[in-house]
Amino acid sequence: MPHPFKQPPRTIDRDGFVARFGAVYEHSPWIAESVFEEGLTPRHDRPSGLHEAMKKAVEASPRDQQLALLRAHPDLAGRLAMAGGLTVHSASEQAGAGLDQCTPEEFNRFTALNDAYKAKFGFPFIMAVKGKSRGEILAAFEARSTNDAASEFRTALDEVHKIALFRLREL
């Protein structure tokens, strides 16, 4: 069965691999580096196999490194987004959900939710927004803001893994 990547990951040298897959997890090339160091096999030539290995690297990392991964994500519809300062991946994902077209009221609501969420949990609200509307995102934001810290940390990591799989499939 042909591989979905233009070039099978296991045929790429370390620098090329990290350059190609280092941004799959937001500002966290250490994940691609870790996967490469573990060794690539034919199963890594498909998005699902590479995603499994990358997810395993994140899950095996210390909590402080996982927290740094969460903190590497931008606010949804936040000031950085409005100033054009997002990564290409994040900008595309947020635009796909219409977050670049917020009304002033929606922007103010996102800003208030972002600030309260970060104050409570210590990292930004993270959601795989592909296929979601602004209303669905706001509803999830409000619902998840009531979670306890441990369950929200787990939910945020799970959302990061979903985002990574979407990104791998796009590659």
At position 34, the amino acid (one-letter code) is S
Q: What is d(CA 154, CA 157) in angstroms, rounded to the nearest whole number?
A: 5
Which candidate in 44, 51, 73, 161 is catalytic?
A: 73
Q: What is d(CA 147, CA 150) in angstroms, rounded to the nearest whole number?
A: 8
Helices (H), the chain: 14-21, 30-38, 47-60, 63-71, 79-82, 88-96, 104-121, 134-144, 149-170
Contact 147, 120 (CB under 8 A): no
Q: Does the active-site annotation cover 27?
A: no
End-to-end CA distance of the chain: 18
**Residue 27, SS3?**
coil
Active site residues: 73
